[in-house]
Amino acid sequence: MSIKKLLYIDDNKIPSQIDKLKRKLKKQGFELDETFINLGDEKFKKRNEDDKVILDKSKIHSFIKDEYSNEHFDIIASDYDFKDSYLDGYTLLKKLKNDSQSQKYKFRKAKFCLYSADQDQAIKKFDTPDKIRDLIRLKIDDFIKRENISEELTRIFLAPEKSYLFKEHITSYLEQYPDLIFNNVYPKFRGKKLSEIANEIDKDLPNGINFQKALVELTVAHLINLNDFEKE
Amino acid sequence: MAEQNSLHFKTNVQLKSIIGKDLINDDNIAILELVKNSFDADAKQVFVKYLNLKTQNDLSAKISNSTSRIIIQDDGIGMNLDDIKDKWLNIAFSQKKSNTKQHNRRMAGAKGVGRFSCDRLGEFLNLYAKKADENKYVKLFIDWKQFEIEDEKKEIQAVNLKYEELTHEQFKKTGLETFDHGVLLEIIKLRSSWVYPVKDKNGKIEKWNSDKLVELKKYLEKLINPNQAFENDDFGIFIDAPEFIEENNSKEKFERFIGKVENRIFEKLDFKTTSIESKIIDGGGIILTTLKDKGETIFWVKEENEYSDSLKDITLNLYYLNPYAKAFFTRQTGVRSVDYGSVYLFLNGFRIPPYGEPENDWLKLDQRKAQGYARFFGTRDVVGTIEINDNIGLFPIVTSRTGLVQNNSYQSLTEKDGFFFKQFKRLEKYVVDGLDWDRIPKNIDFQLIESKIKSGESKDEDLIFEEDENSKQERIYSTIHSIISAKSKDVIELYINEHLITRKIEEERQNSEKEFSQLLEDFGKKKIDSDTLSRILEKKAEENKSLQKQLNEFSKYTTNEITSKALLELQDYKETIEKQSQIILDLQQELTDLKEKKELAENSVKSIKQQVKTYQKDLSLEKQKNQYLLATRKTLSSDADGLIHTIKINNIEVRDGLENIIEDLTEGSFEVQNLIERLGFLKLNAERSLKMAEFATRANLSEDIEKKDVDVVSYIKEYIDLYGKTFSDKVDFQFELNNATLNKNISVLNLSIILDNLISNSIKWNAKNILLTFHNISEKQLDLVFSDDGLGLSNDLLDNPNCIFELSIRNIPPSQESGSGIGLFYTKDLLNEMNSDITFLGNKINYSGASFKLTFETI
């Protein structure tokens, strides 16, 4: 059974909804592996100068970075309203998405979704052209009503890929045999594990890019040779 | 019985040689012996005159006027014929044995054999003697060869000696100078060559070498105690050699041998060196020791003479020679101090050779120095004298004239804890510890200065020392007691240079007064803090301690008037220091009081601010309380957005949860326990909704009902005050608040449900009274003990009471009123969610029923 991985961030426990999501995915042949970041937990809080308890952005950021930057997720979802004066789900997702792109976190390929129990209230925050522009640039994959989390996330999990990504295809292939050692054809990768090569490709490092090019050239050349073989 | 016969010793004629020329094997000693005889005969002057050394005809067997001669002539009491017969010719007779002092002098000789020195010096002797009350001179002629025959039967008394009595006129004819009283020894045909000619290659005499005469003069100089026997210049030795006037005059001053023999070696040293003088006085009972440095007395001490049995009348003078002093020594004496020798011993005015001569280390100073080079003096570092006046025979001389008999007295004088070393070590310690050896700077050209000193160009004031006087004096003062090193019980009186005592305090007094007035000024201007005062106090305390120590040291001794006066100044200064310390202490107290007052004021401002804050908080809570709990009913408004938000989340969970359960039930795939758990969760959500509905009818709710900063204690108290009775009319609540407080960001909704669960649980177990006791464990932790007087936890659960918080365990109350069994499970779950906890404390803790402890923590 294929696994779908979800990271969700909320200040409330929503076990019934997650249970419902699991059931839905199971029916489609997927298992849900979910990770919950509970912002109700005191480890994410601090007192500000007015002695008021608020969420501690840096603690949340570094926790996610430390624990999950090297993990793959299919979806990262967050509640919009953390009932905090200084941090909401949009701000948090924006930071996570931007950091993951610039720092090449593994979860950068996940779909980023926001959900809210009160979308009307949430949308009121985007009240200037700049905020709208930021929202568009951020390319959030979906904004979901809280009561529909299980349905919407199931849909997103199961949505067919809109485009074929050669790089992702090849890295997922290589990662199926992570410990195999590569020996021939591309001298710069001689002696490397396939998982290490996948990493070079994934991180868009020069050798990773050149390797992909070489692979295409070799494959095409091989196909041409095979043509000759067929004629015989 | 056999007849008793008698035998007797015979004195063979050869005895003369044994006690004469063979015994006294040094010409200088021989002269000395004869000079001593003159001294003992109360002579004021003794002349030693050499004649016919250049022109002698000693090769001729006969005596003539040109035969070489030494004439030793004194003006002592002289002898008459009887004296010559009974004393001079009486071998080994010495009046000095029975009468150690005569003519107001201690007797220098003692053996009665000194007269045989004449034999050592020359082959013939003419003795002329005259007493003042006699008219005639007695002349005795001795040809010593008469005794030099090998005849075992010939006894010494068998040799006839010719004598004659001469009138004044007859005596004149001898060519000798007449005298009223005294003895004149004319030693003829000298056995030793006192001078010899230096010839050129043609055999012509170029000059005469008179070194032996110079040696004699120097020898006699050293023999003469500079201080002791010849006080008031009452005994003079004069050397004359008329043939050698020219040679004598051509010599350096200190090399000249004609003239009076004087020992002035130490005269000027006194002013250039460090010296110690120690005298045994008062008939041997007291030792008076004075240490001087460059003429200034550093201390003197009168002590009991611990050697009084064996040492009676001794004076010790020791001089430490620093490099400059050594140069001055050479300038004055013409010899380097190292060639002069070190510590000479004089007995009754005459030197006891070989003690003190160069290379002679009779006191084993060099041996001692070898064991501790840097700290000890050797023979090259000191010169000095030990003068013994002995009229009771404590110090016998060995017959050969070379040294003293090493008896008890000698030991007391010379052994390492004896009289000499006691004083020697004081001088040594003073120089080494106090003066640090009186070093001269390394960078100066000492050789140049040395040559200038020797030539007389440099004077005292030109001398440069490595260390300045102040530093030296400071060190001397700090070590003075260890330098004196006297047993306090032995000290009769002590003097310590008053300037040494007061110099330091005068300097310190000035500094201290200056510092103190500055301190007062600074204090006035508030420029000083308590720490600085503490430091100054510490310094004063140390100073005081040091002064006390000094006073304690001095208090062991009886000090003389001047020293006592200096000590009074020390005491006075100590009192000044104490007074200053007290004033500083007062200032410090004043400063502390001011600081305390300031802190008090600051604290009171702080406390008022805190109070204002608390009031603001209370006001806010009061406001909230009114908003939550006391506001009149009203319809929901836009203010209830938060409430709606929570209800929505809650209900979505209920909806989805129920859907899941229905699905499971439909498909028949479920586990009862899991089902109960999920249903419990849904029930909790239902309770939350109910509670919210309750709140909604009473309050203008803000959205943070799930995240609210509240004082947990106040909230619980108010919640129970308002809602307690809604559970049962029969239950009463008591609170012990203990001033506890805990500000926590909390879901008041969940906290209310927790309280509901606990109260309804108590009621189910027949409780009529519930006590809530609060305690702050710390600023960030609060304990609430929830006790009731119900039936308590069933006995069968008491072994593992905390299992009641598990979902599968149910404790059915006697009322058989069935609970869901999930109340305590979710109570714990909700508490854990808010970083808090619950445990079962036991039955009959406060009341007869069960007690639970809830622990709340905050950030």
Q: Is the pLDDT of residue B448 over 50?
A: yes
Chain A contact for B682, CB < 8 A? yes
Query: Residue B105: what pLDDT?
Result: 58
- B660·A15 Cβ contact <8 A: no
Phi-psi region of B594 (alpha: psi -120 to 50; beta: other; left: phi over 0): alpha
Residue pairs spanning A and B at CB distance below 8 A? 72
Q: Which member of A16, A42, A81 has the closest CB to residue B653?
A: A16
Write the pLDDT tens digit of every residue in B230-245: 444 467 889 999 999 9
Cβ proximity of B376 and B314 under 8 Å = no
Identify which has the larger pLDDT, B853 or B236.
B853
Tell me: pLDDT of A131 over 60: yes
Gap from B511 CA to chain A (nearest CA, Å) = 54
- Cα angle for residues A40, A42, A43 (degrees, 5° grid): 115
**Closest residue, chain B, to A16 (C-alpha):** B657
Residue B824 has pLDDT above 50, yes or no: yes
Extended strands (E) in chain A = 2-10, 30-38, 45-47, 53-55, 75-79, 111-116, 142-145
Cβ-based contacts of A14 with chain B (< 8 Å)? 649, 652-653
Please answer whether residues B617 and B573 qualify as being in contact, where contact means their C-beta atoms are separated by less than 8 angstroms.
no
For residue A126, the SS3 value is: coil
Q: Does pLDDT of B277 surpass 60? A: yes
Ramachandran bin of A66, using left for φ above 0, alpha for ψ from -120 to 50, beta for the remaining angles: alpha
**How confident is the prediction for chain B on average, in pLDDT?**
83
| Distance to chain B for A132, nearest Cα, Å | 24
Does A19 sit within 8 Å of B652, measured CB to CB?
no
Same domain, A136 and A194: no
Which CATH number applies to B15-261?
3.30.565.10
- Run of H or E residues at B297: strand B296-304
Are B641 and A53 an interchain contact pair (Cβ–Cβ within 8 Å)? no
Answer whether B797's CB lies under 8 Å from B811's CB.
yes
- CA dist B687 and B752 (Å) reads 10
Give the per-residue pLDDT at B646: 80
Tokens for A181, please give them.
Answer: 């050692």
Whole-number Å distance between alpha carbons of B383 and B272: 13
Same domain membership, residue A170 and residue A83 = no
Is the Cβ pair A53, B678 closer than 8 Å? Answer: no
Task: For strands B491-496 and B296-304, give the pairing.
Answer: antiparallel
Q: End of a domain among A158, A175, A192?
A: A158
Residues whose CB falls within 8 Å of the CB of residue B102, separated by 6 or more in sequence, listed in order: B40, B42, B95
Length of chain B: 859
Q: Are residues A68 and A123 in the same domain?
A: yes
Of the residues A134, A158, A182, the one at which a domain ends: A158
Tokens matching residue A95: 């930071």
- pLDDT per residue over B58-93, tens digit each? 888 788 888 999 999 999 999 999 999 988 888 877
* Chain B residue closest in CA terms to A151: B656
Q: Is B858 exposed, middle or buried (0-12, 13-18, 19+ CB in 10 A)?
A: buried
> Among partner residues A15, A19, A146, which is closest to B649 by beta-carbon distance?
A146
| B107 to B96, B97, B596: CA distances (angstroms) | 6, 9, 87
B229 pLDDT above the threshold of 50: no
Q: Identify all chain B residues contacting A56, using CB atoms and an 8 Å cutoff.
A: none
Q: Name the residue with tokens 């004359």.
A: B240
Q: Do A83 and B706 touch (CB under 8 A)?
A: yes
Nearest to A47 among B649, B706, B859 (CB): B859
Shortest Cα–Cα distance, A67 to chain B (Å): 21
Q: Are residues A132 and A192 in the same domain?
A: no
The tens digit of pLDDT for each residue in B489-527 reads 888 888 888 888 887 777 777 777 788 788 888 877 777
Radius of gyration of chain A (CA): 22
List chain A residues with CB under 8 Å of B708.
none
Split at pLDDT 50, 70, 90, the class of B622 is low
H/E stretch holding B785 reads strand B781-788
Residue B649: pLDDT over 60: yes
Q: With an 8 Å Cβ cutoff, is A147 touching chain B?
A: yes
Q: What percent of chain A has pLDDT over 90?
A: 44
Out of A133-147, B93-107, B133-147, least confident range: B93-107
Any residues with CB less than 8 A from the CB of A57 and at least 6 apart, and which?
A: A86, A87, A92, A95
Q: For A119, which residue in chain B has the nearest alpha carbon?
A: B645
B127 φ/ψ angles, rounded to the nearest 5 degrees: -100, 125
Window 43-72 of A: residues touching B by CB (8 A cutoff) are 45-47, 51-53
From A17's Cα to the closest Cα of chain B, the distance in A is 6
Q: Per-residue pLDDT averaged across B655-668, rounded?
A: 87
Residue in chain A lying closest to B835 (CA):
A42
- Asked if B671 reaches chain A (Cβ–Cβ under 8 Å), the answer is no
pLDDT band at B271 (very low <50, low <70, confident <90, very high): low
| Residue A203 contacts B, CB cutoff 8 Å | no
CATH level 3 topology of B708-859:
Heat Shock Protein 90 (3.30.565)
Contact (CB<8Å) B660/A16: yes
Looking at the complex, does the CB of residue B1 fall below 8 Å from at least one CB of chain A?
Answer: no
Q: Which residues contact B522 (CB under 8 A, 6 or more apart)?
A: B528
CATH number for the domain harbouring residue A11? 3.40.50.2300
User: Is the CB of residue B645 less than 8 Å away from at least one CB of chain A?
Assistant: yes
CA atoms of B713 and B785, how far apart (whole Å): 12
**Domain of A180, in residue numbers:** 166-231
A137 and A182 together in one domain = no
Identify the sign of the CA torsion A180, A183, A184, A188: positive
Q: Classify residue B745 as exposed, middle or buried by CB count within 10 Å of its CB (0-12, 13-18, 19+).
A: buried
B439 touches chain A (CB under 8 A): no
**CB pair distance less than 8 Å for A16 and B642:** no
Q: Would the pLDDT of B635 be above 50?
A: no
The reply to whether residue B648 touches residue A147, judged by beta carbons under 8 angstroms, is yes
In this structure, the answer to whether residues A116 and A195 fall within a common structural domain is no
Q: Which of A10, A21, A43, A83 to mutate to test the interface with B (most CBs of B within 10 A)?
A: A83
Which among B421, B410, B646, B76 has a CA at the least distance from the CA of A11? B646
Buried b (16+ CB within 10 A) or exposed e, B519-544: beeebeeeebeeebbeebbeebeebb
Nearest chain A Cα to B702, which residue?
A: A83
Residues of A in contact with B652 (CB under 8 A): 14, 16-17, 117, 146-147
> Do A45 and A121 lie in a common domain?
yes
H-run or E-run covering B346: strand B343-347
Q: Specify the 3-state DSSP secondary structure of B837.
A: strand
The chain B residue lying nearest A18, using CA atoms, is B656
Closest CA to B211 of B225, B224, B192: B192
Residue B322 has pLDDT above 50, yes or no: yes
Rounded CA gap, B424 and B369, in Å? 13
Q: Is the peptide bond before B354 cis (omega within 30 degrees of 0)?
A: yes
With 80 as the cut, is the pLDDT of residue B625 above it?
no
A72 phi and psi, to 5 degrees? -90, 135
The pLDDT of residue B125 is above 90: yes
Residues 725-754 of B with CB under 8 A from A: 743, 745
Measured CA to CA, the distance from residue B75 to residue B764 in angstroms comes to: 145
Partners of B639 on chain A (C-beta within 8 Å) are: none
User: What's the pLDDT band for A161 if we cut at 50, 70, 90?
Assistant: low
Nearest neighbour of A147 by CB, restricted to B652, B682, B833: B652
**A11–B663: do the CB atoms touch at under 8 Å?**
no
ipTM tops the 0.85 cut: no
Cβ contact A40–B833 (<8 Å): yes
Measured from the Cβ of residue B236, the count of other Cβ atoms closer than 10 Å reads 15
B772 backbone dihedrals φ, ψ, rounded to 5°: -115, 115
Are A26 and A137 contained in the same domain? yes
| Of the partner residues A11, A20, A118, the one whose CB lies closest to the CB of residue B659 | A20
Of A19, A40, A52, the CB nearest to B660: A19
Q: Is the dihedral of CA B51, B52, B57, B62 positive or negative?
A: negative
Are residues A117 and B652, on separate chains, in Cβ contact within 8 Å? Answer: yes
| DSSP single-letter state for residue B526 | T
Mark yes or no for CB contact B859/A45 under 8 Å. Answer: yes
SS3 B792: coil
- Cα–Cα distance between B14 and B156 in angstroms, integer? 7
Please give the Cα distance from A210 to A13 (Å, whole number). 47
Residue among B793, B806, B773, B780 nearest B842 (CA): B793
Check B652 against A51: CB less than 8 A apart. Answer: no
- Tell me the two tokens of residue B254: 């200190």
B648: nearest CA in chain A?
A117
Q: In this complex, which of A14, A40, A51 lies closest to B653 when CB atoms are compared? A: A14
Same domain, A135 and A178: no
Kindly give the interhelix angle for B641-667 and A15-27, rounded to the nearest 10 degrees.
40
Which residues of chain B make contact with A81, given a CB cutoff of 8 A?
645
B675-698, pLDDT tens digit by residue?
A: 888 888 888 888 888 887 777 766
In three-state secondary structure terms, B103 is coil
CB A153 within 8 A of CB A75: yes
Answer for the pair B194, B247: CB distance below 8 angstroms, yes or no: no
Cβ <8 Å between A146 and B653: no
Contact state of A23 with B644 under an 8 Å Cβ cutoff: no
Kindly report the nearest CA distance between residue B654 and chain A, in angstroms: 8
Residues of B in contact with A120 (CB under 8 A): none
Per the structure, the count of domains in chain A is 2
- In this structure, are A79 and A12 located in the same domain? yes
Burial class (CB in 10 A: 0-12, 13-18, 19+), B591: middle
Domain end call among A158, A180, A201? A158
